[in-house]
Amino acid sequence: MLLSPFANRTKRLSLLSLAVMTMLSVGCSNNTQDTTAKKSEIVTKAPTNTAANKTPVAKESDASIVKALQANLKASGINETITSAVPTDMPGIYWVSAEGLPSFFTDTEGRHIIQGQIVQVGSGTPVDISAALLASGAKDKLAAVDKKDMIIYPAKGETKAVVYAFTDADCPYCHKLHEEIDQINASGIEVRYLAWPRSEPSIPKSEAIWCSKDRNTAMDKAMTGSDITAANCQSPVREQIELGMSLGVNGTPAIYTEDGRQIGGYLPPEQIAQAVGIS
């Protein structure tokens, strides 16, 4: 019998004890794992090394690190597929990507799993290099999602920015964000919804929305608390749950910019506009 995405998530996260990404603002937490503790003062002050600074140069994966880590995990009874291990700006530390799991760090022997952030200091303002790596991976994964598999609310007038929002129709903060969708669109921001129901019982509602002939109307109704029904279809909901898991989503809404930065949980329209560079 296949495990549900949520059973798989619980199993994987408990085996590796991986802390998923901290929500940067308020939102509905997942029932599997609550949001993590607040960042330290140094980390909070450290800007990400992404759009505001520079995009990290793509580096090649080290096959020997992948092989070593895979072997060490297997020896500990953990069967996960490691897809890459690229060197970071911190000597001897590698950034690891794995199928269906949030990325993490490891050492040169693939013997240690390291969670959290790495902040580079000593050259002026502290820089959070881990956030840059997360953003780079998220950018590629989000760009690979076919537009037909998202529910899109286009900008009014000129499109000045695009945000992706993992959403759950049973989440009150998602309802609040959707109540303000017209204001967000009016500022020139296109909103691309991805499904991320936080529990197994919420999946049918998301699938009904995505299987509706008019998804936008179905989303509008669902976000007011209305029940949605639709004929079964081959929806992308479970794939998007897996996508969110791989990015470290642990609550909704989870808002990302086109360059892969997670800017929130729930944020008011003016803060979303500010985060994407619209004054």
Catalytic residues: 168, 171, 174, 198
Partners of 128 in the beta sheet? 48, 119
Structure tokens, 182: 């017209």
Q: Which of 97, 88, 80 is nearest to 130 (CA)?
A: 88
Within the chain, where are the H helices? Answer: 5-16, 41-45, 63-75, 129-143, 172-179, 181-186, 203-211, 215-222, 237-247, 269-275
Query: At residue 128, what are phi and psi to the nearest 5 degrees?
Result: -85, 95
Number of other CB atoms surrounding residue 263 within 10 Å:
17
Answer for the pair 160, 272: CB distance below 8 angstroms, yes or no. no
Number of other CB atoms surrounding residue 241 within 10 Å:
25
Structure tokens, 222: 């669902």
Instruction: Quote the CA–CA distance of 73 and 80 in Å, as a whole number.
Output: 8
Cβ neighbours of residue 118 under 8 Å, at least 6 residues apart?
88, 89, 90, 93, 105, 128, 129, 130
